Amino acid sequence: MIRLLIFITFVFCLSFSAIADVLDDASKFTVRVRTSIEHSFAEDKAGTSKAAGFLVDVDNRYLVTNAHVAGRGNANIEIAFKGYEYVSADVIYVDPLIDLAVLQIENHSLPEEAIAAEMDCSDRNLTGISVAAYGHPKSLPFSASRGIISQVRTYKGYDWVQTDAAINPGNSGGALIDLETGQVVGV
């Protein structure tokens, strides 16, 4: 009985250790995004907003966020890695239909310890997997909320990931991470 209890405790601790490693990696690819819009255009409202994004390509310094975070080309965008000051980012691509945007930063703005998020672009069934929504909910920087993927739904020809992980203002543009593999499965 004692051996079984020790084994269960060991497995339980390994599980938490693996999740801690996944979230530690997430803190190295996640950025804070600050968007300022001076003049309203289309659906974009004037003002400043804060959200999340994540690094997907170290060599080209590409980051992904939501289109509603980046605006439609008339925004001043800045990003900040954990422990670093905000730097300017350029909008490379915006797709309001699927709500995605690609940003780029200057080479000197990329911290040495930054890593690219590993993306899961497979066709595997995601329903029921444990995930973490990683971002800056309610101005709490570099935070995670845990849940599962309830379903992958198709809407207007695009796949949308439904999760029960808590999503709050500040999570927009952040990664939805598979807690077992550490791969990004949604934005």
Residues 6+ apart with CB under 8 A from 11: none
Known catalytic residue at 44: no
Known catalytic residue at 172: yes
Catalytic residue among 44, 49, 99, 136: 99
Angstrom distance (rounded) from CA 39 to CA 28: 33
Tokens standing for residue 159: 């796949």
Tell me the three state secondary structure of residue 104. strand
Catalytic residue among 49, 109, 143, 172: 172
Tokens standing for residue 91: 């909008």
Known catalytic residue at 130: no
Tokens standing for residue 45: 């409202």
Catalytic residue among 44, 49, 68, 143: 68
* Catalytic annotation, residues: 68, 99, 172
